[in-house]
Structures are given as C-alpha cells and as structure tokens.
Structure 1
Amino acid sequence: MLERGEPGEAAATATPDAGPQASTGQAPSLRELPEPPDAVKARELLADLVVADEDDVPGYSRAKFPHWITQSGTCDTREVVLQRDGQDVVQDDQCRAVSGTWYSEYDGLTIDSASRIDIDHIVPLKEAWRSGASQWTTPERRAFANDLTDSQLIAVSYSSNRKKGDKDPDNWKPSLKSYWCTYSRAWISVKATYHLTANPAEAAALAEMLDTCAT
C-alpha cells in the first residue's frame, strides 16, 4: 500500500509499456479520487459483500501486484495520481512532479513536496490478498494495483500511509473523521468491484463509518 513499500518490504517494479509521449507542464487542479457510490448505494453494496473470516494465505508479496506500471509515455501510475490529486503540479520531461501542493485527506496536511507523498491503495494489497486476491492471476493483481478508474488510489501524506499499513477499517481509520464517509464508500466500492470478502469486524466498522455520511 505504501509508495515506498510496506515496512520491511521493497517496492515492486514493473516493465514500462509503450505509449505516446507524456505531456509536461501544469496539471489540472483536481484533488480527489474517482467518486465512489453514494452512501445509500454503499450500504447496499456492503450488505451484498461476502462476510467471512480472513484467511492469512501464505505467499504474499508486493511483487505479485506489479506496480507502478507505465500509463503513457514516461508517466507511471504514481505520477498520474500525483498530477490528478495535486494543485498546480509541474512535471519534468520524465513526467516527475517537480513542484506542486497536495492536500492529504487522511490527516489534513498540505504538502509541497512529492517526495513526502505516498500513493495509497484504499484497499491495501495485503488486505486484498487475504480477502480473495491470492486466487487471482498476476495480470488481475496488476490491474488492481494500478486501478485509476475505481476509487482505489489516492495521494496522501507518507506519515498517514505508514500508520495505515495493511490495516482494515476496524484497525485504522483516517484521523480526519470528516473523511470517514468518503473512505468507507471507497473501500466498500473497491471490495464490491473486485468481489473481495470482508471480515465481520471490518463490515461493522464500515457500517459505523457510513453513519457519518450526511443524509
């Protein structure tokens, strides 16, 4: 889940794909992950998740979820999310963010250096492994780890990301309670999209977090 790897793990790498040359310059002023379903729909999706105790399947490795892959030209998934989630982001000719600001939704920090930003997997890679991804093919895990379509990837402070680790919502929640609604909706949406299970305590925590959504 951590851009630089979970504690004690090395970050995975991937072979670049071919593609058109990436553009450089100022990025659009966007600061949000793809919108998850609203609270009503999220409750329906939560009710439909298979609730089961997690199986700590041996053999997990970040290398089984290849990332960050090239999305276009020299731009990999990390750089795409940095551009998407930042304000006034400027990239060099290798698509690296050289300036800009990022607001971390988890803890409310505003950060002016890309080196202090992690790209978080809302549903961590190891959590996905425990709840069904151990049965996937490598291409399926690759798609999950680089998903720019669903509400799965978000730029946040590295400090909040390291505190989160591979914990589910029963064991970790954003320190900003105002983000619990969006976070729970995103988590539920990703689990539903990828047909992943939820353990009982996780499901209860998600229901509690959905209670913070405005009615």
Structure 2
Amino acid sequence: MADKKSSSKLGGIVSAVVGVIAVAAFVLYQLGIIDLGTEEGADGPRDGGGASAPSGDLSVEQARTMLDELRVEEENDPPGYDRSMFPHWTSNVQDGCSTRQVVLVRSGENVETDDDCKPVSGSWYSDYDGETFTDAQDIDIDHMVPLKEGWRSGAHAWSTEERERFANDLESSPQLWAVSASSNRSKSDSDPAEWMPPLESSHCEYAAAWIEVKHVWELSVDPDEESALRAVLDGC
C-alpha cells in the first residue's frame, strides 16, 4: 500500500512539473522569446507555389553586417565571358516549368498558365519602376547580380554547374526578379555604383537584396560598389 501511495504521489508531482513547464513555454512563446516551430512556412515554402520565393527582407542592420563581411577588392574582369557559361532558365525545375516560368508564377497576381506552364493571364508589378503589366511578354526576369557582374566578382573561377545554380537560384538568395523589360535592359550588367532602379522608394530593398546575393554566393564587391551600397543603407 505504501508503494502505491508513493507512486501516486510521484506521478502527481511529475504531472505538476510538466504542467508548469508547458505554461512557462506558452508564456515565453507569446512574448516572442522562444519559437515553438508552429508558424506556417517554418520548414516549407513561403508561398503556395512550391518553390520558396527569395527573402529580400533583410533589415538595414543585417544588410550592413553582410556588407561588412564581403571581400572588397578591385574588380577583376578576366577575358572569356559568355552568357552561355551561365546556363539559365533551366527547364522542368518545378512541375514541368522552367525557371523563368516559376518566377513569373510566384511573382504575379492571379496568374493562370496553360498546359505548358506558360502564363496566359495575370498581372505583374515591377519593383524597379512601379509599373504594373498584364502581359507576361512585357516582363523580364532580372538577375539581381547580373551574370557578367558575377563573373567579374568571382564566378569566373566556378564550374559550369555552379554558375548554372547561380543563374537559376530560386531559393537560396533573392537573385531572380520579375521586372519591366525596359528597366532590366537599362540596368544591363551595371552594379549599384552605376545604376539604381528608377523608383527611388525601392533603393533600400534593392541594395539589401544585392548584398544578400553577393554574401550567399561569396562574391566580392569593388570599392565604388561598396561605397554606393553604404550610401543607400545610410539613407534607409
């Protein structure tokens, strides 16, 4: 009988302790001190399309920290660059869609596609100039860090496979943006010391995204580029 009473008493103590821990954890979660891993998207895609959209949501301080960690060196432009060295718009990357098509679907509103994954309706807002388009043919997929800029910043030393991952980066960095064809072609292969989006209100996001791509891919920045990026962040 004594053993049963002891077991019962011990069980009660354990239950009480577990209850206290559960309540404490809930309170800490509500205060934002701990993450219980219950938020949607914690371990999965951030949007409904299956492929995670690039973050592009660094704080100014995070962007400054990443910029501090980048190599600053004079730009090196080895001969031999060709866009074909960065195979891009890889086909069948998701549900039979090419990289370009995936970006169009995830970046647009109310996008509908045909059986070949080609967008046939929808609308797209261009962050670079604030324009909205309803024809996908008016949209280019911009490499935040242009392929030639990547080459000059260190990608010349990569394998073709690594350059292909960089050119089709859907998940690891905010490298691919659906923007107006005119703004993309105006930008060409310029860095932020030479070109910034016409829409001034997008400059902070643009600089942070540029820094994040270079940081993720361990690319260098040249002195003028670094100065331009710091100037943008100082105004954010």
TM-score, normalised via structure 1 length = 0.83
Tell me, yes or no, if the aligned pair for 2:56 and 2:208 is still in contact at 8 Å.
Answer: no
Tell me, yes or no, if the aligned pair for 1:36 and 1:151 is still in contact at 8 Å.
Answer: no
Gaps of 5+ in 1: 1-26
Larger RCO: Structure 1 or Structure 2 (Cα < 8 Å, ≥ 6 residues apart)?
A: 1
- 2:38 matched residue in structure 1: none
Distance 1:212 1:141 in 2: 33
Q: 2:55 aligns with which of 34, 38, 56?
A: 34
1:81-110 C-alpha deviation (Å, 9 max, x unpaired): 000110110100000001111000000111
Deviation of the 1:56 alpha carbon: 1.2
Q: 1:105 aligns with which of 127, 136, 148?
A: 127
- 1:17 matched residue in structure 2: none
Q: Secondary structure at the match of 1:156?
A: strand
Aligned-partner residue type, residue 59 of structure 1: G
Q: 1:147 aligns with which of 136, 149, 169?
A: 169
**Residue 66, structure 1, aligned to residue 96, structure 2:** no
Q: 2:154 aligns with which of 132, 135, 139?
A: 132
Q: Secondary structure at the match of 1:72?
A: coil
Distance 2:131 2:115 in 1: 28
Q: Secondary structure at the match of 1:173?
A: coil
1:99-157 C-alpha deviation (Å, 9 max, x unpaired): 11100000011111000100000000000000100000011000000001111101000
Aligned-partner residue type, residue 59 of structure 2: D
Bigger helix share: 2
Q: 2:67 aligns with which of 33, 46, 49?
A: 46
Aligned-partner residue type, residue 189 of structure 1: E
Gaps of 5+ in 2: 1-47
- 1:212 matched residue in structure 2: 235
Deviation of the 1:33 alpha carbon: 4.3
What's the Cα RMSD here?
1.3
Give the ranges of 4+ consecutive aligned residues of structure 1 lying more than 4 Å apart after TM superposition.
none
- 1:6 matched residue in structure 2: none
After the TM superposition, which residues 1-215 of structure 1 pair with which residues of structure 2 at under 5 Å, given as runs?
A: 33-70=54-91, 71-149=93-171, 150-213=173-236
Distance 1:73 1:51 in 2: 40
Distance 1:116 1:33 in 2: 22
Tell me, yes or no, if the aligned pair for 1:88 and 1:101 is still in contact at 8 Å.
Answer: yes
Identity between Structure 1 and Structure 2 (%): 51
Rg larger in structure: 2
Distance 1:157 1:33 in 2: 18
Aligned-partner residue type, residue 84 of structure 1: R
